[in-house]
Chains A and B, each alone.
Chain A
């Protein structure tokens, strides 16, 4: 296993996801992908569900990947990777593998391809117990098609299908808690991560790849285009999300052992996180204060819940 101690050493890694892709300037997707694929020296087989990452990294005839890569439909990244993994296992059993090098299987999907459309494939693959890592690039909406809401969109967010207006305050539903759902599958390792905490993410990716069985990482991916902030602020928005506990970083082993991997020194009000993004700007108008209070209440309650779970070791 490759050792990740500090960034100076980590930066000696030859990149396996290269430039020339057409993701927006300042997109967090490629930060996440680079932190995951560079975290291991093993051969990788990657499948990617339709989404920003797939359309931008594989515009015909180009590819940005230095690893074996499968493009598959919106709904079945997990199914494709479990098929590849099953074949690898079968060939190994029959002694027909041409290489002895360890091979790891990774699937990437956006939140649309994970929370909504790809969920049954992911749930099935996890239940069957294939050995793969699924990374969800969670940008809280269908950003590839112009910013529609998904079940990951948090309450109050403006999207094209939950627009703000004189009466509407944007998205009405709460964000679905996919990480806990995956933990409830009994997966040996699930975690949340944010690319602004590169080491946390890289170490989690490594741990997930080393763990045998279906593992899952939900990585927050601040989206400059649809969250409406300046491209250079991507890393800072990710930090705000974590420091305000709107997106807490934790991991769960075997569905039962929760550990908070990063504790903000001083929890900042969630208003600062929301205020930094254009998609929430209407919440700061008169009459919408109750949503901000609701947000803060939900974040506090969830953070308390995580802490209680960690304390009790469940």
Chain B
């Protein structure tokens, strides 16, 4: 049933509205997809999905709904069937209004009309609704988004399913570990979560003053209001494979610097002990003790690490992973001190949440710091958590 596609999309978390769903039917009733499931795949995606991070979820919903469909007629029946069901749905007033505006009945009539005239039947290529012109003008195109070349005989419907099966947008999803591809989007999220930057405002008194001095020649005086509020400290695990993640997050926050009044960053390897490193190579350091004493406690503290190590690195004197490094206070105690000082603190972990339970040290650290996944979603959650001051209520 076609309406299932709508619900499948919703259940996979694609934010699709009834408005868009009906728009899709407009397109179908006018045969803008040229009776072709592959075209339908793209047209429906363009109308229903407004962000590439949902493309992967769209693919999954598409597979769920259409993997068994073989022919055009079958699909049409399903669409028609689904269309008739729209009115049986539980609709809000708002949605009912939308349906009226979009004239669902008109669409239905169009559909049935076309169906009666067998416009859709044995439809090979031509396009009644928008004219047959414009098959690919780029003769030597040769480009196929799914990278599959299809022989003449193969069903055109199968192909759409194959494209969806490729799931080529998997890495764009907002629940995969943050990577550079998502930098811009992540930055956008970050900026929207942080307090606002400088804004320009007309200074009325100064303008009147200046204009009077100018003998009435208008002169506008603008003032910048600084509204940078966030103060952020990053502490990053730069042990081996963690380095790229640490760098990424560092870049992210320094890119958001227009909204951060003070920004500091330190490095560690697996856990924090008496020294906080100020360079990635871990040659220069400051004393953690001093740091705890002298720093303002209204910083938001974000630790980045996979929290995966030998338990002894957290609990033993001289437990640090680097054999040359001696610590007379166990790492866990240092973490607790940091946590006590900075109420607004979180830990971001590039490993998926489901794995944390299996890692003893991740469980231990998760008991001290609220822990979030280092994904787009996790970043959102974590920064929201910090900005709302929820840290005070954790443990």
| Chains A and B come from one and the same complex | no
Chain B residues packing against A (C-beta within 8 Å): none
